[in-house]
Structures are given as C-alpha cells and as structure tokens.
Structure 1
Amino acid sequence: MRPVKAWCTKDEVHVTLADGRTISAPLWWYPFLSGLDEQGLNEIELMYEGIWWTKVDEGISVKSMFLGVKAPGAKAPDKAA
C-alpha cells in the first residue's frame, strides 16, 4: 500500500499506489486541509504508508483511506436542495 503519487482536486484527495491502484477520498473527510489553497493542497510528501502536508503538519495513511476513516471533526457538506 505504498503511495507513489498523490494530488488533490477541489473536492478529493487521490493517491496512486505502487501496485497501480488509485484510491480517492473526499476532501471534507480531512478538515485540517480546509485552510489550504490549491497549491498548498498539492504540496504533499509521500511517506512509506501515507501522505503528509507539511504546511499543516498533518497526514493520512493509505490504510485509513481504504477503511473510510475520517479525521476527527469531519462533517459532510450541506447538499443544496
């Protein structure tokens, strides 16, 4: 489950693994990223089993993405009617 590439879009974080799979999770799962602009969101360091944002000194493990584990305080955005 080693990440080889990671990037963010405006709504999701994506990780490509060494075995070729790509996984994604909604950005709202990680409230600690909410204050970052597009450049900050994409300044990601690859770790052996996860990814890290030095600007906020926070990261997520690939395993937590697979298991659907959200960061504390994560709240789904309100859906417009």
Structure 2
Amino acid sequence: MPILAAKFDPTATDVRLDSDLLHIVMADGRELSVPLEWFPRLRDASPEQRAHWRFIGRGKGIHWPDVDEDISVASLLRLS
C-alpha cells in the first residue's frame, strides 16, 4: 500500500491580507491564516502599508517596512 511522502517546507511563497486575517502560502502547498489581532501594527496599518511587504531570509520571514513589523513563518506555525 503506497503512503504519501510529504515533504514539509516552511518557506513562504506568497502573502495576502484582508481586513481580519494574514494569509501565508508555503512552498509545500500549505496555507496558513492567522488573525491580524495578533499583530497590532498590521491591524492598524493602512491597506497601502499592509500591501508593502517583502520576504526576509528567503521566505523564512516577512517584513513590512512601513510599520516596522517582522514575522517569522516558524513562529506562526508554532502559534497556530
């Protein structure tokens, strides 16, 4: 009987934000959504500030320069 050999890769490949949630897409296909309430700087930021982000550490984290916020993907996985 075959078994699934999943390779987990906690590297982010895309980021989306809506009014209530931060959505992270990872290289292995998983998607993680967490409440913006966990991140007051992002929660209180304008849509333009939220949209201005970049990956750090080759997708190991996300940085929002306009609000000085850094979030590591590993920490989100531990929290969720």
Which TM-score band applies after superposition, normalised by the shorter structure?
A: 0.7 to 0.9
Larger helix share, 1 or 2: 2
Count of aligned positions: 69
| More relative contact order, 1 or 2 (CA 8 Å, 6+ apart) | 1
RMSD over aligned Cα atoms = 1.4
Mapped to 1, the partners of 2:43 and 2:14 lie a distance apart of 21
TM-score by length of 2: 0.77
SS in 2 for 1:34: helix
Distance 1:60 1:13 in 2: 11
SS in 2 for 1:51: strand
Partner residue of 1:61 out of 72, 75, 80: 72
Q: What's the % identity of the aligned pairs? A: 32
What runs of 5+ residues in structure 2 fail to find an aligned partner? 1-9
Larger-Rg structure: 2
Structure 1 spans left out of the alignment, 5+ residues = 70-81
Give TM-score scaled by structure 1 length: 0.76
Q: Which runs of 4+ in 1 moved over 3 A?
A: none
Structure 1 residue aligned with 2:61, among 19, 40, 50?
50
Correspondent of 1:35 among 33, 36, 44? 44
